Amino acid sequence: MTKKVLIVDDEPNILILMEQALEKLEDEQDVELLTAKNGIEALAIIKEEKPDLVFLDVMMPKMSGLELCNIVKKELGMQEVYIIMLTAKGQEFDKQSGMAVGADMYMTKPFRPKEVLAKAREVLGLLN
């Protein structure tokens, strides 16, 4: 069964970097990569596609990653969607905010592509 990974970021360069980091999974592991440029777009994709894993930027226009995470986890009750918050800020307050809305994990930008790939494999239960 195809696993789905959604990358949500309003920064085109980050989307490209993330896709490049994860394209190995598409090639080797039957993983479908989805992208969204804002929280509203992402919410529609999450409801429709039910991705296994979401890499979610915190700071975005229209709807922040924190708002989106709160809707997915608390309002929709989609606990099976694993959400990794991506943020440029490494402050403890942000981590607590992310965890408070139900984020499963937190990664700070700039990230290492290998780290992103390894984490995705781990969450999706895929072997190297």
Residues 109 and 124: their CA atoms lie apart, in Å, by 21
Q: Are 16 and 10 in contact (CB under 8 A)?
A: no
| C-alpha distances out from residue 47 to 22, 24, 104, Å | 22, 25, 18
Q: Which pTM value belongs to this model?
A: 0.93
Q: Given the structure tokens 């922040």, which residue do they identify?
A: 64
As a CATH number, domain 3-120 is: 3.40.50.2300
Grade residue 90 by pLDDT with cuts at 50, 70 and 90: low
pLDDT in tens, 14-65: 999 999 999 999 988 889 999 999 999 999 999 999 999 999 999 898 899 9
